Amino acid sequence: MTLLDTITGPRDLEHLDEEQLQVLCSELREVIIETTSKVGGHVASNLGVVELTVALHRVFESPADRIIWDVGHQCYPHKLLTGRREQFHTIRQSNGLSGFPKRQESEHDHLDTGHSSTSISAALGMRAALDLKGDAGKVIAVIGDGSIGAGMAFEGLNHAGHLDKDLIIILNDNEMSISENVGALSKYFSKIITGQVYNRFRRDLESMLQSLPRGERLVRAAKRVEEGIKGFMTPGILFEELNIKYFGPVDGHDLNSLMDFLENIKQIDGPLLLHVITRKGEGYAPAEQNPEQFHGVGPYDRKTGKVTSNSSVPSYTAVAGRAVVELGEEDKKVVTITAAMPEGTGVHHFKHNFPDRFFDVGIAEQHAVTFAAGLALQGMHPYVFIYSTFFQRAYDQVIHDVCLQNLPVVFCIDRAGIVGNDGETHNGSFDLSFLRCIPNMKILTPKDENELYNMLLQARSLDSPVTIRYARGSGFGVEIRREPLDLLSWEVVHQGKKPVAVLATGYLVTQAKQLCEEKGVTLINARCIKPLDATLLDKVLRENRRIITLEENSQMGGFGSAVAQFLCAGEYQARLTSLGLPDEFISHGDQQTVRKRCGIDLDSLKLTFKELNI
């Protein structure tokens, strides 16, 4: 039995001496590596916060003190120390632990997260509520150097400085987002980290000033010198000026220093920020050497660090990345934008080929969209590469800054539909619903990777805002070749003999093909969700008694809703069955299992046919 096995909750840490705490850190790393090598997960960030998590749980009293993990992808050591050691092997799998903090899972999880930069606002809200209730518990937001650069984090800092309430912000600075961190703020942090010499100089100067005789003029003069030097050299002056006391930087792998710092800042009133320097992947060489790959990774061989399950079929992401590089070669006005996801969206290839026309704006989806609007207004052809779930952040910008002005911005929406193991915070369940209602927006859903490739190449020709949405993972292995595509019309994939038609969207078209052929059912590739192909839809509704719509989007307001609206507005006899995602937040598991659970896999379609006697 290991020491970690004996930890039933954070209070058990109180009895451990320094040496035992160090052993505990090693054991935490061992369990994280052993488990994630089998089931995958967020490795590098978790290994980086082992000491920080132990120190926080040793010094503070969770759950009375609330620790809020920003994004939450670094919560594995926290889970292991808060009574979830036994279930840890189930992490991110169906019916298992979530990979993110979940209030339903534990009293030590105070905020469900997954999207970045929410911790300061939520923590400040909790602080305000606790003060109103007379609860003296501490509130601690732990936020990374990538996440603190987002607009929302700045809004939280701005308000925290104004409210002047007791709030502890731990800045976990590993000098990385998923990829290399970008932005002026991250450069500022680097200056602080490398500015230790200046800090010593400042300390020396301060003690010298204090030791001078205390004549009034001299004190005033000394104060002026001190202020001047402070503005120039005090690390964290940015935060200080916002009325947030700055402490650090401190080595986040030096457990004793960390605990000392935390003990001290615990006593201090008002909003404060402790700058902790950590290293992604600490303690596991492959993750230290390749933190980007080990940010989020599938199962891997723990000896070599090699990922074990690499599909040979290209992913939609890879095909989209290839297409936009070809576009970039052909048209110098093509520019690409990503909000901190260059690798995840495949647009990093464009970055390498055309660095001047590539923009990683950091975790700033709202800015990304309005920035694209600005580029379009000056005649560029912007392609915004973004995950469906993070696109949600930029809704007003899509409406107000792009669609209202009918700007030709192409949104390449990756991870649309079920993403699998990340679960409810990351599924792209809603984009069809929230985009359909925006005037001027056109929405395309490719049936396979070749259609995606051609849609991406041709989307510019629509000269309006266009969204192309595609799924996470591999395509079907079809040949990629250029072909003309009528983007706004649907395709009859199979003409059946029965008076039944399946109107399918995205990869579900290709998935349903063989079954529809076997059943003698008509299959339509509804490749354009907005506008609907009214001519073909009208014909299909007249010719068939039963229509089945298929989509990997919420049934609420998605493609099925669009067809239902059309059906009700006309004189049709056809009956409609809509298969799509249920009206709930869909929890984690591997993609196929989750799709089955949601009733949108092939077996679910077979079952629907059976129930309808088809």
Ligand X SMILES: CC(=O)[C@@H](O)[C@H](O)COP(=O)(O)O
Ligand Y SMILES: Cc1ncc(C[n+]2csc(CCOP(=O)(O)OP(=O)(O)O)c2C)c(N)n1
Binding of residue 552 to Mg ion (CB under 5 A): no
If one asks whether residue 419 binds ligand X (CB under 6 A), the answer comes out as yes
Distance of closest approach, residue 175 Cβ to ligand X, in angstroms = 17
Annotated catalytic, 280? yes
Q: How far is CA 483 from CA 285, 451, 454, 458, in A?
A: 46, 9, 7, 10
- Using the rule CB under 6 A, which residue among 178, 276, 372, 524 binds ligand Y? 178
Is residue 42 part of an annotated ligand binding site?
A: no
User: 365 a known binding residue?
Assistant: yes
145 in a labelled binding site: yes
User: CA 572 to CA 549: how far, in whole Å?
Assistant: 16
Contact 404, 395 (CB under 8 A): no
State the DSSP code for 147: G
**b/e sequence 335-350, b meaning 16+ C-beta within 10 Å:** bbbbbbbbbbbbbbbb
| CB 472, min distance to ligand X, A | 6
Q: Could you tell me which stretch among 129-137, 175-183, 443-451, 561-569 binds ligand Y (CB under 6 A)? A: 175-183
> Applying CB under 5 A, which of residues 55, 111, 176, 500 lies at the interface with Mg ion?
176
365 catalytically annotated: yes
Out of 10, 40, 146, 417, the residue judged to bind Mg ion by CB under 5 A: 146
Q: How far is CA 586 from the centre of its chain?
A: 16
CB of 450 to ligand X, least distance (A): 22
Give the Cα separation of 251 and 274 in Å (integer).
11
Residue 472 interacting entry, from ligand X, ligand Y, Mg ion, none, C-beta within 5 to 8 Å by type = ligand X
Residue 5 counted as an annotated binding residue: no
Per-residue binding string, ligand Y, 350-389, x by CB under 6 A, is: -------------x-x------------------------
Active-site entry in 92, 280, 447, 513: 280
* 279 CB neighbour count, 10 Å cutoff: 18
Nearest C-alpha neighbor of 414 from the set 507, 317, 480, 342: 317
| Closest by CA position to 60, among listed 166, 182, 151 | 166
CB–CB of 600/550 below 8 Å?
A: yes
Alpha helices for 196-303 (secondary structure H):
196-211, 216-233, 237-241, 255-266, 285-289
Residue 346 in the binding site for ligand Y (CB under 6 A): no
Angstrom distance (rounded) from CA 205 to CA 211: 10
83 to 142, contacts with ligand Y by CB under 6 A? 115-116
Residue 344 binds ligand X (CB under 6 A): yes
Per CB under 6 A, the segment of 69-77, 127-135, 246-254, 590-598 that binds ligand Y is: 69-77
- Closest contact distance (angstroms) between CB of 345 and ligand X is 9
User: Do the bridges between strand 442-444 and strand 528-530 make them parallel or antiparallel, or are there none, so unpaired?
Assistant: antiparallel
Cα 35 to chain center, whole Å?
Answer: 22
| Interface positions, 172-211, toward ligand X (CB under 6 A) | 178
Q: How far apart are CA 273 and CA 245, in angstroms?
A: 6
Q: Is 472 in the site for ligand X (CB under 6 A)?
A: yes
Q: What is the amino acid identity at position 264? A: N
Q: Active site includes 491?
A: no
The tokens of 451 are what? 């259609």
Report 35-94 residues binding ligand X (CB under 6 A). 71, 73
Strand residues in 278-417 grouped as ranges (E): 334-338, 358-360, 381-387, 410-414
C-alpha 143/C-alpha 256 separation (Å) is 21
CA-CA distance, 593 to 274, in Å (whole number)? 42
Q: State in angstroms the smallest separation of the CB of 504 from ligand Y.
A: 30
568: helix, strand or coil: helix
Active-site residue (options: 27, 51, 282, 365): 365
45 binds, among Mg ion, ligand Y, ligand X, none (CB under 5 to 8 A by kind): ligand Y
Nearest distance in Å: CB 581, ligand Y:
21
Question: Of 108, 393, 469, 472, which one interacts with ligand Y (CB under 6 A)?
Answer: 393
Residue 74 binding: pick among ligand X, ligand Y, Mg ion, none (C-beta 5-8 Å cut-off by kind): ligand Y
Question: Which amino acids are annotated catalytic?
Answer: 280, 365, 393
- Binding stretches for ligand X (CB under 6 A): 71, 73, 178, 295-296, 344, 415, 419, 422, 472
Binding residues for thiamine diphosphate: 73, 114-116, 146-147, 174, 284, 365
Binding residues for Mg(2+): 145, 174
